[in-house]
Homo-oligomer: A and B are copies of this chain.
Amino acid sequence: MKELINYILQFGQLNQQQIDLITSKATELELRKDDYFSEAGKIPRYIGFVVQGVFRFCYYNNKGEEITNNFVEENSFVGDYARFESNVASSEYIQAVTDCKLLVFSKKNWDELLNTIVGWDKIVAKIYQKCLLEAIDRRSPLVSEDATTRYLSFIERFPSLANRVPLAFVASYLGITQQSLSRIRRNIR
């Protein structure tokens, strides 16, 4: 819980009363490896803060291939922010890659925070913006890189992830086959 508060306080000031309110609205949630935090076709019920574990965002293209387009680790918010706020069904999956512990806010509790804490909306906007910028800064450069450079970028940006995430997910994130990724890992050592 301390991590959550510290994270939030990066983006704005809050007094103790407000912090206590936020704390009281957060619920602990544990997910097992492969469980979904959010699913395509369903309205996201929660927004979460990752205490332990790794999540991935993924969807299926028109060939039925599974595409991973983001990873989220500890000490970050996770969720389909836009769809959560607007009560619209999501178009992608958010899946636990490992066993995970979260602090989650239901839509009801989240809206209560928005209505109660002056400036909460600004803090939230900054958090969303940070997460979006991170996602784009990580993924966009991959477009112009070859497969080896993509993998090197990946282990630079997610140093602790290479060994926690199945190779197939990493390959899908990098836009290459797992055979190619395996070959690349052999060649760079």
**B-contacting residues, A80-98, CB 8 Å:** 82
Q: Is the CB–CB distance between A129 and B133 below 8 Å? A: no
A175 contacts which chain B residues (CB < 8 A)?
143-145
CB-nearest residue of chain B to A65: B144
Taking chain A's interface residues, is the majority helix, strand, or loop, or is none over half, making it mixed?
A: helix
Q: With A and B bound together, what is the CA distance between A129 and B129 in angstroms?
A: 7
| A148 nearest CB across to chain B (Å) | 14
CB distance from A126 to the nearest CB of B (A): 8
Is A6 interfacial (CB-CB < 8 Å)?
Answer: no
Q: Which residues of B sit under 8 angstroms from A142, Cβ to Cβ?
A: 143
How many residues does chain A have at the interface if contact means C-beta atoms less than 8 Å apart?
25
Inter-chain CA distance A122–B118, complex, in Å, is 13
- Of residues 109 through 129 on chain A, the ones whose CB sits less than 8 Å from some CB of chain B are 121-122, 125, 128-129
Q: Indicate whether A136 reaches chain B with its CB closer than 8 angstroms.
A: yes
Cα distance, A121 to B136, chains bound together (Å):
23
CB-CB nearest in chain B for A129? B128
**What B residues does A82 contact at CB under 8 A?**
129, 133
**Do residues B143 and A139 form an inter-chain contact, with CB atoms below 8 A?**
yes
CA distance A67 to B149 in the complex (A): 15
